[in-house]
Amino acid sequence: MSGEVSRQGREIVMPGDLLEGDNKLRPGTGTYVSDDKIYAALLGVKTIRSNYVNIIPLGGRYIPTVGDSVIGKVEDIGPSNWLIDINAPHPAPLHVNEVPWRVEFGDTARYMNVGDVILAKILMVDETMRFQVTLKDQGLRKLQGGQIVEISHSKVPRVIGKSGSMIQIIKNYTNCRIFVGQNGRIWLDGDVDGIMRAIKAIQMIEEGAQSFGLTEKVREYLESTSPQTVPNSE
């Protein structure tokens, strides 16, 4: 099966698989070039877009991309920054200049402490994979209450769905506020029952084998466990 090239459909490929040998496509993410041929570098799904062949990874850690919204946890504090764990290969520094408060040198603990959770954005990523986050943008803030779940970051698009369709279904049926970070962390807030059901739905999607009919399966689950249809749910 190795060396098989397919241009249509989504095909699972793995490191070393030949993607393209006749110069018709350009090498995108998750690929490498050797001897003028394009090979897969990752275990993932092969997709072709604007003549570029890309591999969408099926697993792995989150690799920060500028502009991504992420949910992070403060794991350490310095006099002029906080270190935020965002499930990437390194924790991301958040400098005092990148928060909406005026923080004096050494006063960082007053605003945020170890264990606090924030909704942040990736501010920059340089060629040496050094990156930083910021809280200075619309909607970014410290999060309180609710619950956090972690899924594989590669499943985030599936949880969000086409134009947000899947996440909207979950929100509607559970009345939860839900925020999905690109790094695979999801924050939910609502009543306890709603949160539990939303988490169950998200787990169904993450483990979900078949992608055909997944939306229906999730909707069915949420409908059947909705407070209106379960009269004595506590």
Contacts with other proteins in 57-86 (CB under 8 A)? 57-61, 68-69, 73-75, 85
Number of residues near other proteins (by CB under 8 A): 77
Looking at beta carbons only, is 78 or 89 nearer to other proteins?
A: 89
Looking at beta carbons only, is 76 or 223 nearer to other proteins?
A: 76
- In order, the DSSP letters of 82-139 are EEEE-SSSSPEEEEGGGSSS---TT-GGGT--TT-EEEEEEEEE-TTS-EEEE--STT
Least Cβ distance, residue 201 to other proteins (angstroms): 14
Among 8, 50, 144, 228, binds other proteins (CB under 8 A): 144
- Of residues 212-231, those binding other proteins (CB under 8 A): 212, 214-215
Check residue 50 for interaction with other proteins (CB under 8 A): no
Least Cβ distance, residue 103 to other proteins (angstroms): 19
Q: Alpha carbon of 154 to those of 1, 64, 97, 158: distances in Å?
A: 25, 13, 31, 8
Among 160, 221, 226, 227, binds other proteins (CB under 8 A): 160
Buried b (16+ CB within 10 A) or exposed e, 18-41: ebbeeeebebbebbeeeeeebbbb
30 dihedral zone (left: phi>0; alpha: psi -120 to 50; beta):
left
Do 142 and 118 form a contact (C-beta atoms < 8 A)? Answer: yes
Report how far Cα 195 is from the mean position of its chain's Cα atoms.
19
Least Cβ distance, residue 94 to other proteins (angstroms): 15
- Of residues 186-215, those binding other proteins (CB under 8 A): 187, 192, 195-196, 209-212, 214-215
Least Cβ distance, residue 50 to other proteins (angstroms): 11
C-alpha neighbours within 13 Å on the C-beta side of residue 166: 24
Q: Alpha carbon of 178 to those of 41, 93, 146, 183: distances in Å?
A: 33, 25, 10, 14
- Of residues 96-135, those binding other proteins (CB under 8 A): 114-117, 119, 128-129
Do 84 and 57 form a contact (C-beta atoms < 8 A)? Answer: no
Q: Which stretch binds other proteins (CB under 8 A): 20-28, 95-103, 163-171, 224-232?
A: 163-171
Interface mask (CB under 8 A) for other proteins, residues 17-36, using x and -? -------------x-x-x--
- Of residues 1-20, those binding other proteins (CB under 8 A): 1-2, 9-12, 14-16
Looking at beta carbons only, is 5 or 43 nearer to other proteins?
A: 43
39 phi and psi angles, rounded to 5 deg: -120, 155
Looking at beta carbons only, is 12 or 104 nearer to other proteins?
A: 12
52-57/26-27 β-pairing: parallel
